[in-house]
Structure 1
Amino acid sequence: MSGRTVPVNPATLKAEAAEVTTEETMTGYLLDRRVHYRQFTQGYRTGIEPVLMAAFVPAQPGQSILEAGCGAGAGLLCLATRCPGIAGVGLEADHATASLAQSNMEENSLGERITVVTGSLPDIPPSLRHMTPGANGRFHHAMANPPWHPANHTGAEDARRRLAMTMPEGGWVAWISALSRWILPGGSLTLALPAAVIDLACEAMRGSGFGGLVLCPLWPKQGRSAKIVLLRGIWGGKGVFRLMPGLILHRDEGGYTAQSEAILRGMEALK
């Protein structure tokens, strides 16, 4: 999960989409109302990163996915909707958020394919081995929008937001190393990260056995520096590093670009 100070909430891509319920959750939609989505009104709020990250995962029908730090499930909801037939597990450290994510799966008729459990990296619950769709206890793909702030930062006042923003001891290396042990040979790991840590993330991925790294910058506008990037690697991959042209998120005059709209609303993959 990310820790942006002012998140852009994909549930409000349409102005009429949001409303506050009596359970202190905000109800909205993802992927142009194809997905019904609830998140807490207080604390951490979902940005567009998990939606774009899910579009960057090369999943195919019949494959499995693991998301670490899934929050209320935006990434898994979008991936499972864009790619029918996948199954998987979401891992979320906050129990209340994990419960909300599971409710989101069930409300979108995905509860039989996607299960959300309470847990956090690098200490993944051993029971997860029995929940993987494959017989070998590993997944075809994994994805994570991990916490961005070091364990010793002052943190946010809200406990749930602080948990979402703060990486555990060991940081990127511990997250990536832990996820590598749950991915099949030839499977992928996709991360949404701050551009400032890309050198460390690439080093950690290579050190954990990933190759064929692909980097996709997310440009806020034409001519602006990328603050967030998507990084994907193949476990055991031998391909060379590839830098994509990236995605320009917003037009100069305001609003999303046509390419962003195609992903955020039209369910297109980010290639």
Structure 2
Amino acid sequence: MHDPARPEDQFSDSPNHMSGAAPTVNPATLKAEAAAVTTSETMEGYLLDRRVRYRQFTQGYRTGIEPVLMAAFVPAQPGQSVLEAGCGAGAGLLCLTSRCQDVRGVGLEADGATAQLAMQNMRDNDCATRVTILHGSIPDVPPALRQLTPGDNGRFHHAMANPPWHPADHTGASDARRRLAMTMPEGGWEEWITTLARWVLPGGSLTLALPASVVDRACEALRHSGFGSLTLLPLWPKQGRAAKIVLLRAIQGGRGMFSLLPGLVLHRDEGGYTAQSEAILREANALS
């Protein structure tokens, strides 16, 4: 049985591979198809070298290393709050709250069954009093989110998202839940950024895991939404390989210059993970 303690084994350096184009899909249709899925069998594994128990569906979308790395790049401090859009079964929030145990959070998940599973994962890891999972999606954030914000300001210190990577006209996966998790609505990454910007406090951060091919559009959308002090961290599959996935972080109201970090090399040439990757994926270190 595949052990989700090693979701990194599912990492591909070709996230943008598509099987072709098709007519644009309706997000409501994707949600309805996912809701009609009756398969609920799950498998249990671990994250962060067994610090976190993690259950996910045996069929459909499977967690990779992106949410683990993304959570490590969020500059959260004790007592702060975080919102994750498209949280899936909760891997990112679980990793973040494991590393910074005084953080409170809310996860938005478009698929109802996956949202329920994420909440069960929070309970299994004694996080249910600090993290709430809400059935909802971008850009139509449910009104209930306003009541779940931790402060009177109605916003969060940090937001993060590992948005769907495939455009709305790709042919898609055969599994309905996987197709919902991987298909970006017509508004694209720009719409996710614009929506999340309204939920981040001044001085707060927005962290994204994105295909490298959309970095220019994402940076433009961030600046149009009032973010600055952009920091880009490439994820190199191996030394000398082009980065297909990047982490991008920005500060609401930030005025700092754009910063390109050296990046993280994930795999050694001879196989296995680099020491830097192991420190994040197994030892729960932050990506500074």
Report TM bin, short chain: over 0.9
Higher relative contact order (CA 8 A, sep 6+): 2
1:261 and 2:278 are equivalent in the alignment? yes
Runs of 4+ in 1 over 4 A off after TM superposition: none
Q: Counterpart amino acid of 1:12?
A: R
Aligned with 1:202 (options 210, 219, 244):
219
CA distance in 2, matches of 1:89, 1:176: 17
Contact 2:7 / 2:64 at 8 angstroms: preserved in 1? no
- The corresponding residue for 1:12 is 6
Aligned with 2:161 (options 137, 144, 147):
144
**TM-score normalized by the length of structure 1:** 0.93
Aligned with 1:123 (options 126, 129, 140):
140
Contact 1:10 / 1:48 at 8 angstroms: preserved in 2? no
How many angstroms does 1:12 deviate by? 2.9
Contact 2:138 / 2:192 at 8 angstroms: preserved in 1? yes
Aligned residues: 258
CA distance in 2, matches of 1:91, 1:169: 19
**TM-score normalized by the length of structure 2:** 0.87
Are the structure 2 counterparts of residues 239 and 93 from structure 1 closer, same or farther at C-alpha, using a change threshold of 3 Å? Answer: same
What is the aligned-residue RMSD (CA, Å)?
1.6
Gaps of 5+ in 1: 1-7, 16-21
Q: Secondary structure at the match of 1:11?
A: coil
Q: Secondary structure at the match of 2:120?
A: helix
CA distance in 2, matches of 1:213, 1:13: 28
**C-alpha offsets along residues 188-216 of structure 1, whole Å, 9 cap, x if unaligned?**
00000001111111111111111000000
How many angstroms does 1:126 deviate by? 1.3
Q: Counterpart amino acid of 1:177?
A: T
Aligned with 2:105 (options 84, 88, 92):
88
Contact 2:71 / 2:92 at 8 angstroms: preserved in 1? yes
Gaps of 5+ in 2: 10-38
CA distance in 1, matches of 2:266, 2:4: 13
- The corresponding residue for 2:51 is 34
- The corresponding residue for 1:104 is 121
Contact 1:9 / 1:46 at 8 angstroms: preserved in 2? no
Q: Counterpart amino acid of 2:263?
A: G
Q: What are the equivalent positions in structure 2 for 1:120-269 lying under 5 Å apart? A: 120-269=137-286
How many angstroms does 1:10 deviate by? 4.9
Sequence identity percentage: 75
- The corresponding residue for 2:41 is 24
